[in-house]
Amino acid sequence: MTLTAETTRLPTAENPNPGGSPSGPLPTPGTASANDAAPHAGGELMERVVQGAHQAIDRLAEQAAPHVQRLEEKLGNADDMLHQRADQLREMGDVYVGSLRDTVRENPLLALGAALALGLIIARVTR
Q: Model confidence over 16-49: pLDDT tens digits? A: 555 554 554 555 555 555 455 555 777 888 999 9
- Compute CA distances 4 → 43, 66, 121, whole Å: 11, 29, 77
Residue 16 lies in a domain: no
Residue 65 lies in a domain: yes
Residue 28 lies in a domain: no
Instruction: State the pLDDT at residue 94.
Output: 95
**Structural domain boundaries enclosing 65:** 37-126
Residue 1 lies in a domain: no
Q: Cα 109 vs. chain centroid, distance in angstroms?
A: 58
Residue 13 lies in a domain: no
**DSSP 8-state secondary structure symbol assigned to residue 127:** -
Task: Collect all residues with Cβ–Cβ distance below 8 Å to 51 and sequence separation of at least 6.
Answer: 2
Angle made by CA atoms 46, 49, 53, in degrees to the nearest 5: 140
Residue 103 lies in a domain: yes
What integer is the mean pLDDT of 57-68?
A: 91
Number of domains into which the chain is organized: 1
Residue 117 lies in a domain: yes
